[in-house]
Amino acid sequence: MAEIERPQIYLITPPAFELEEFAPRLCAVLDAHPVACLRLALATRDEDTVARAADGLREIAHARDVPLVIEAHLGLVERLGLDGVHLTDGARNVRKVRTALGADAIVGAFCGASRHDGMSAGEAGADYVAFGPVGETGLGDGTQAPHDLFEWWSEMIELPVVAEGALDQERVASLSPVVDFFGLGEEIWRTDDACATLARLIAAMG
């Protein structure tokens, strides 16, 4: 990626939402800002709930030429005409999922702060790896993906890298030269005006 290129926005849904309330907010953001990809990342494991949400978001995303990937629910990708899957367990299942979905599907892998997992995911056929969180979230064991991980990755590895988790304007400005995508979700959805918040984060890229 040329240094003068801005990172792209990889939009992540809230962990829980009512489709009727969330859909207009999502439409407003997609209409206001260029988004490279949308990830459905519901916390629930209830497949019917996830499938209903995926159905609704697919129509919104595809009408705007934005691919929709789903977190973890591999079985819904082909059934619902989604564009791919985001795996949350590093490199473990990338090869199997790539075989199941074929070459055209998007397969991404969240690898925490592990350079080794990221490289393994790439070798197994991932289209991108995501590292994070980059700031404090109060979740998990407190591990954060440091700046030098992204710096090393951008210098040594061609596979696109996503920074996600606890992003703010300062971190966006700092990481912009060394990432391909910013995974933004709760950072904008928990605010009253998601479009304006996203605009501020995009402006921070410089």
Confidence at residue 115, expressed as pLDDT on a 0 to 100 scale: 97
Judge whether 3 lies within some domain: no
Judge whether 1 lies within some domain: no
Judge whether 49 lies within some domain: yes
Confidence at residue 2, expressed as pLDDT on a 0 to 100 scale: 40
What is the domain extent for residue 189?
Answer: 8-203
First to last CA, the chain: 16
Measured CA distances, 66 to 83, 128, 141, 165 (Å): 9, 16, 33, 21
The answer, as to whether pTM is greater than 0.85, is yes
Tally of structural domains, the chain: 1
Judge whether 2 lies within some domain: no
Q: What is the CATH number of the domain that holds 27?
A: 3.20.20.70
Confidence at residue 136, expressed as pLDDT on a 0 to 100 scale: 83
How far is residue 8 CA from its own chain's centroid?
11
Judge whether 129 lies within some domain: yes
pLDDT single digits (tens) 42-97: 999 999 999 999 999 999 999 999 999 999 999 999 999 999 999 999 999 999 99
Q: Give the torsion sign (CA, 33, 39, 40, 43).
A: negative
pLDDT over 50 (residue 3): no
